[in-house]
Structure 1
Amino acid sequence: MMFILGCVSLPLGPTAWLLVHEDEIQPPKVAVYFSRFWWLLQQRAVCQLAAYDFFSGVFNNFNPVASSNIKLYWVHATPFNASVMAIIGTFVYAGTLGVMAQHGLHWNWRVAITVTVVFGIVTDALMTMLVTWDVVRSQWFWLGVPIMGYIPHAVQFLVDNYVVVELIELGSEGALYGLLTTTAHVAAPFGRTAAKVINARFHVWKADIQADTFVTRRDVTITICICYGMKLVSLVFLPLLPSQKAATQELRRLGGVSTRMGLCMVGILLVALAWSTAVNVLSMNPHTKCWSITGGCAPKTLHSSRSQLSIPAAG
């Protein structure tokens, strides 16, 4: 299969070489480029959008760590079926982008994000609670309902790009897009690490999920509610995001520049990048993978012992 896909992709190289035409431009001098980039970093509009991407990203990536074990031991979802639903989710994502691009250009971006995030939380909560308390434990139910979660991600992605388009200046397109993309990416490890640290205090380890006791179900419910709460907290940072194109242009025109804000943003991004690197390296080392900042390891005395209150078997 990989060989066939490789053969299909082979003509793309010559096609791009022969058919794609780009005008030759004079590359900027390094000093001039970095001077322009530093001026860009000091703009309030850029700092404000970067702050929104970072802080909302931290809380949006606060996900329950028990999900993978629930999928494996409670609903018995197979990798093939998960892949099929992921493909369908990609189509939902693309469809949302199309609808948003055609009809959402003049929507209030803050309202669009709020509505889709709340919709995603409600649908996911319905599915998760029914599975947790053994009302419905179908793999198709577990894999199918979260497809709706692709909708808020698509709306968030498109709104971010709308704002970037309004802020872009000639010669700084790649730098600005790269800056905001990096900001969103380095925010994710903070949310995931915080989720692991908090989840580690509950009975949601692999052995707990396998035992499927009342205590486990209760703690899974608590951790999931915490995660939903964090996703709602991410909406608190929406005032940092312009509500429409006109507001973006006004912020760009009247926002001004601030060296202090630029330095603060660079410092936060460097710390976030160092944190992300450190967590990834520590999690791969056998001697440090059980540290609290990497999520810890299951205790030697399992939470889900036989002495806990268990769920009686049906029938």
Structure 2
Amino acid sequence: MEACKTPTSSAACDDTEKCSQSSSDSFAKVESGKLEFAFGDPRNCGITLHYFTQGFVVGGIDSILVNVLAGYLNVPSNIQQGAVNMANLPCAFAVLLGILSDARPIFGYRRRPYMAGGWLLSAACFAYMVWLGLPAPYYCFAEGQYLRNQTPCNPDAADFYVWPIVCLCLSQLGMTAATASAQGLLVEYAKAEPEKTRGRTQALLQMVGTAGSFCAVVLVAFGFNGQMFTGSFSQRHQLSYPEFLAIFAVLQCIAGLSCIFCVREHSGARASVREYARSSFHLLENKAFSAVALYFFANSSLFNIATSAGLWVSLEWAKVENMQRQLSSLFGMLLTLLGCWLTQRCLLGVSWRKILFGACIFTNVLDMFPQFMTIFDIVRDQYFYLGEPLTRNVPIAMSNLVTQFLVNELADEKNCALVVGLLTTIGAVGQPLSVLLSNQLFSLFTPDLFLRENYVKDTPAFRWTVASSFLLSYSVSFLGMAMLPLLPSQKLGPRKLSL
């Protein structure tokens, strides 16, 4: 499960002045004065904790999807991809949640109640998962290892994934509501910054989110690294599944309470939801915004196709255990932190197209060498293998930054969450399509890429099949760079973006 990619937009069109004038009377009015963000201000600690907690959840959720679903329950990789897709489904409702945040204040505030309510809903879902627990593992477990060569002790365990995924889906709904509101507020903060440095606060808070992911990965590497969950440590000295989830629930409760009392925002009045819906339609009619929307949709669907072989290449051929997988994630996060720091220090004026192009090329080329050397048994070492975290985390982080910068220019003070939600929804609608296309496309490969048994046999012909699936994935990713001209190259001031 990933955090929804949340750009924000507000009506930026060639005829935007007309758009905003026609609906300005219907939009919520805010108090005069601009908001400012400062890390040292206690009144800002709520939104800082929001980003830290969001990063923590995103960084730690991979251990549930891999360690529990693939390792403990032995769920096939194609079903696991579909389950992850279902867990991310609430991202498609980000535009509706953004409209609610803009148009329907609660107790006079448009952001804090939705942020707090979202986190408390997510905490309740994790608490239910704690109560639910886990059945006995799929394979028999003895002397610190699974007996995969024997008949499974609990073959029904593979079907248990349904309820955890439902809980993660509802948890994602809460996170989407909180994030749509927080991103809307963050755009208001960004608009108070000078144009030359606009986006610095967003880059810094993305670093806070990455720091949260870093902490979660450290916890997984040293606290949830038991042998029953693809780990290397004795299970007796590691956190149990309920204990691990309880940490998430407690942190989400703290984030929710802090959002009630420690978030600075102007109060707002109720506005017409119908006018907000009409405004979102006018946005999609605009040529400039439509080009940006097309990029987000194509990038999250057609050019997000990935081979399903990566999971078993990592677990079966590279023998990557939980600790080493988390170290790989830590390396990716360090690169992300470096990228965010460089962006807010030196790259705020650099072409957004160049940033995205460089991130894609660098991470994919860096990933090719360990992947193919592992596939063809030249080097099969878990410390050498980098795997998916690097190629996933860095481009996503850079893409999130650029989309936030885009929203700063597209949105006004009255519909920030609407624009964030609209672009988030467009990207989220493409994600199920990418999973569907990936499963259908790679199901044509023979022998089957989804089954672990084929990786255990490890025949030369099957190695070439796996390698060709990776080549196809990389090629599709590189083709996606052809869509970059749809994005503006840089900010040219509010409502002056040109393609």
Q: TM-score, normalised by structure 1?
A: 0.72
Please say if 1:228 is aligned against 2:474: yes
Distance 1:153 1:129 in 2: 23
Q: What is residue 58 of structure 1 aligned with on the other side?
A: 301
Distance 2:467 2:306 in 1: 13
Question: Any stretches of 5+ residues in structure 1 without a counterpart?
Answer: 256-315
1:80-229 to structure 2, matched below 5 A, reads 80-143=323-386, 147=390, 149-202=392-445, 203=447, 204-206=449-451, 207-229=453-475
Distance 1:115 1:12 in 2: 34
- Displacement, 1:70? 1.2
Which secondary structure state, in structure 1, belongs to the residue aligned with residue 421 of structure 2?
helix
Q: 1:221 to 1:21 in 2, by over 3 A?
A: closer
Please say if 1:49 is aligned against 2:292: yes
- Displacement, 1:134? 0.5
Distance 1:178 1:10 in 2: 24
Q: 1:94 to 1:186 in 2, by over 3 A?
A: farther
Q: 1:240 to 1:213 in 2, by over 3 A?
A: same
Cα contact 2:332–2:394 (8 A) shared by 1: no
> Mean alpha-carbon deviation: is it higher for 238-247 or for 118-127?
238-247
Distance 2:257 2:396 in 1: 35
Tell me how large the CA RMSD over aligned residues is: 2.6
Which secondary structure state, in structure 2, belongs to the residue aligned with residue 242 of structure 1?
coil
- Displacement, 1:96? 1.8
Q: 1:130 to 1:12 in 2, by over 3 A?
A: closer
Distance 1:111 1:7 in 2: 40
Q: 1:109 to 1:14 in 2, by over 3 A?
A: closer
> Mean alpha-carbon deviation: is it higher for 63-72 or for 29-38?
29-38
- Give 2:272's match in structure 1, choosing from 5, 12, 29: 29
- Give 1:69's match in structure 2, choosing from 312, 321, 345: 312
Distance 2:254 2:399 in 1: 34
Cα contact 1:59–1:231 (8 A) shared by 2: no
Cα contact 2:367–2:386 (8 A) shared by 1: no
What are the superposed Cα offsets for residues 158-194 of structure 1, whole Å, 9 maximum, x if unpaired?
Answer: 1111111111123211111001111112212222222
Distance 1:160 1:82 in 2: 28
Which secondary structure state, in structure 2, belongs to the residue aligned with residue 170 of structure 1?
coil
Question: Any stretches of 5+ residues in structure 2 without a counterpart?
Answer: 1-242
Distance 1:215 1:193 in 2: 26
Q: Alignment identity in percent?
A: 24
Cα contact 1:64–1:223 (8 A) shared by 2: yes
Distance 1:208 1:9 in 2: 41
> Mean alpha-carbon deviation: is it higher for 100-109 or for 78-87?
78-87
Q: TM-score, normalised by structure 2?
A: 0.47
Distance 1:159 1:199 in 2: 31
Q: What is residue 484 of structure 2 aligned with on the other side?
A: 238
Distance 2:352 2:262 in 1: 37
Moved over 4 A (4+): 1-16
Amino acid of the structure 2 residue aligned with 1:150: N
What are the superposed Cα offsets for residues 102-144 of structure 1, whole Å, 9 maximum, x if unpaired?
Answer: 2111112212211221111211111111000101111122236
